[in-house]
Amino acid sequence: MGVSRQHNMLVFAKKYGNDMIQALNNTFVFFSVMLAQASLESGYGTSSAAKNKNNFFGVLQGGRTASFSTAQSAFSNQIDLFNDPNHPYIANGVQTATTPYEQIRAIANSGYYSMNNDDTLPSSLASKRGSFTAKQSADYYYNNLKGFVDDALFIIPLGKINDSNLSAATASINSGNSFTPIGILAPIVKSNEIFGIQI
């Protein structure tokens, strides 16, 4: 966990948290997982795709960066991906995960990310691009994302969002830095600071 990363995530959550909560309401995705993925993959909303197209996840359409009309629609699209029976996310337990860490492990194990396609790998790994196994890619992605989930749970300890806690979750996002735990939480596990990747 890093203070600057937590600050950046908090700023990102202040800007997009309400859109995230609305998209997540009554779904199986943990708030901390969505916040961690969006922060990691969009550079806390600073990527050109995020700023110009509300695209926080590197979604491509027809070989080009997809554009979303609203931030909420981008977050809803990510949930739809994990709910698509044509992808392995359901079979790998993304929907049934009981903790954010179990959920990101299931996402990673579903082939969400490949080191072989990552142009941002450090030089020590870039020379091996094309030879990484699916398990190596899954472990690498999980370990990167885990640090972001740690930070998300530290700064905004929200779990899954549903009708019974929607108002309280919205109030938490809008209340400043004093966040109240809401929903299902997992213990915060310390991790080493790991550089972010742009997918």
The b-or-e profile of 158-180 (16+ CB within 10 A means b, else e) is bbbbeeebbeebbebbeeeeebe
Neighbours of 95 (CB within 10 A): 15
Between 35 and 171, the higher pLDDT residue = 35
Domains in the chain, ordered, with CATH?
3-57+69-174 (1.10.530.10)
State the pLDDT at residue 4: 85
Between 178 and 16, the higher pLDDT residue = 16
Between 152 and 199, the higher pLDDT residue = 152
> pLDDT per residue over 73-129, tens digit each?
999 999 999 999 999 999 999 999 999 999 999 999 999 999 998 888 899 999 999
**Which residues, in sequence order, are CB contacts of 56 under 8 Å at separation 6+?**
16, 37, 38, 41, 42, 45, 47, 49, 50, 71, 74, 75, 78
Between 10 and 188, the higher pLDDT residue = 10
Neighbours of 108 (CB within 10 A): 23
How far apart are alpha carbons 66 and 57 in whole angstroms?
Answer: 10
Between 187 and 13, the higher pLDDT residue = 13
Residue 54 CA to its chain's centroid (Å):
15
Average the pLDDT over 12-39 and give the result: 97
State the pLDDT at residue 180: 42
Between 56 and 174, the higher pLDDT residue = 56
How far apart are alpha carbons 112 and 37 in whole angstroms?
Answer: 11
pTM for this entry:
0.86
pLDDT-based confidence at residue 19 (cuts at 50, 70, 90): very high
The three-state secondary structure class of 5 is helix
How far apart are alpha carbons 64 and 75 in whole angstroms?
Answer: 18
> pLDDT per residue over 142-188, tens digit each?
999 999 999 999 989 999 999 999 999 998 888 754 444 444 333 33
